[in-house]
Amino acid sequence: MLLIAEALLWLIIGKKYFELTDINQLHSFGFASLFFASIFNIFVVRTPTRFYKQPIGKNLLIAISADIVFACIILSIGLPGFTTLPLIVTGSSLLYFALCSLIINDWVKIKANS
């Protein structure tokens, strides 16, 4: 439920402040939201303690980093089915979901487990 609320809030912010009104831009924005929310969620759900208390495996970190780079490239240059997004929108989406997952969602996870 928390991820849905965060994504909905980000959609409202995107429409209001980034002035995303084109349906194709909203599709790409939705992809960015779903992708970044899920990729950072991996850090949170992989351990019952704080995400930073258990080292992240080298292979997992490489795979996640490569996925993030690939998604940013897709959103920046566009591919069939993806409309390009301004770099500020992609970067802000990345930062927003990183902060939501690594701070808010991790905190909620700890409180729910105690």
- On whether the CB atoms of residues 106 and 44 are closer than 8 A, the answer is yes
What is the predicted pLDDT for the residue at 29?
Answer: 96
Q: Where are the alpha helices (DSSP H) in the chain?
A: 2-17, 23-45, 58-77, 87-99, 106-113
What is the predicted pLDDT for the residue at 53?
Answer: 94
Tell me the angle at which helices 23-45 and 2-17 cross, rounded to the nearest 10 degrees: 140
- On whether the CB atoms of residues 52 and 98 are closer than 8 A, the answer is no
Rounded to the nearest 5°, which phi and psi values hold at 79?
Answer: -140, 170
What is the predicted pLDDT for the residue at 79?
Answer: 87
pLDDT beyond 90 at 108 = yes
Chain-centroid distance of CA 113 in Å reads: 23
Geometric angle at alpha carbon 62, from 66 and 32, rounded to 5°: 35
Rounded to the nearest 5°, which phi and psi values hold at 86?
Answer: -60, 145
Per-residue pLDDT tens for 50-104? 999 999 999 999 999 999 999 999 999 988 888 999 999 999 999 999 999 999 9
What is the predicted pLDDT for the residue at 101?
Answer: 97
Q: Which residue has the tokens 């303690």?
A: 49
